[in-house]
Amino acid sequence: MYVYKIVAHEEDGHYWSSCPDIPEARSVGDTLEELLENAVEGITLALSIYVERRQLLPEPTERGDHPVRLPVITITKALLWDMMLRRKMTRGDLAERLGISPTAAGRLVDFEHTSKLKSLENALTLFSLRLEVTAVDSYAIGTPPITYMGVQP
C-alpha cells in the first residue's frame, strides 16, 4: 500500500527520477542509492500538492523500476487523507470529531509535519480502521529493507 515506483534516468554521471504514478514527484542524486533515498522526499512533497488541491492521492501501480518505501507516518497520513476525501470530511470536521484544534487536525494530513503515530491512529478510528505494522525480511525477497503497513477495517 502506497509503494510508488520511480524510473531512474542517468545523465552525465548523475541521476534524476520520474514517477509514472505521480508526475509531480522528482528527485536527483549523484548515485542510484542517493537518488532512491531522495525519492522518498520527492514523493512526499508531491503528495502534499494533492492535499493542497483537495484531491485523492494517486493509486500506486506497477509502472516504474524502483520501489520507494515511504515512512509509516507518511503512509498513515496518506490513508487518513484518502479516507477523509472519500467521506467528504474537511479538516474542520476532523478537528471537531477528534476534539482538537483545526490547526492540529491540519497537521495530521500535512506531509511536511511529523505527527505522532498515536494521534494518527486515533484519527483512523473515526473510519473504523486500525494499523498493523509488519516487518518483512527484505533479503528473503530481494528488495531493500522495508516496513509494510497493513490496514484492517
Q: In this predicted model, what pLDDT tens digit does every residue of 4-42 receive, in sequence order?
A: 999 999 999 999 999 999 999 999 999 999 999 999 999
To the nearest whole number, what is the mean pLDDT of the chain? Answer: 89
pLDDT of residue 108: 98
Residue pair 152/132 in contact by the 8 Å Cβ criterion = yes
State which fold the 72-152 domain adopts: 434 Repressor (Amino-terminal Domain) (1.10.260)
Helices (H), the chain: 32-52, 72-86, 91-98, 102-108, 117-124, 138-141
Over range 77-101, report the average pLDDT. Answer: 97
State which fold the 4-68 domain adopts: Double Stranded RNA Binding Domain (3.30.160)
pLDDT of residue 135: 78
pLDDT of residue 21: 96
Residue 146 has pLDDT above 90, yes or no: no
The CB density around residue 34, as the number of other CB atoms within 10 Å, is 14
Query: CATH 3.30.160.250 residue ranges in the chain?
Result: 4-68
Residue pair 76/131 in contact by the 8 Å Cβ criterion = yes
Query: CATH 1.10.260.40 residue ranges in the chain?
Result: 72-152
Tens digit of each residue's pLDDT (9 = 90 or more) over 56-87: 999 999 999 999 989 999 999 999 999 999 99
Residue 52 cell numbers, joined: 493542497
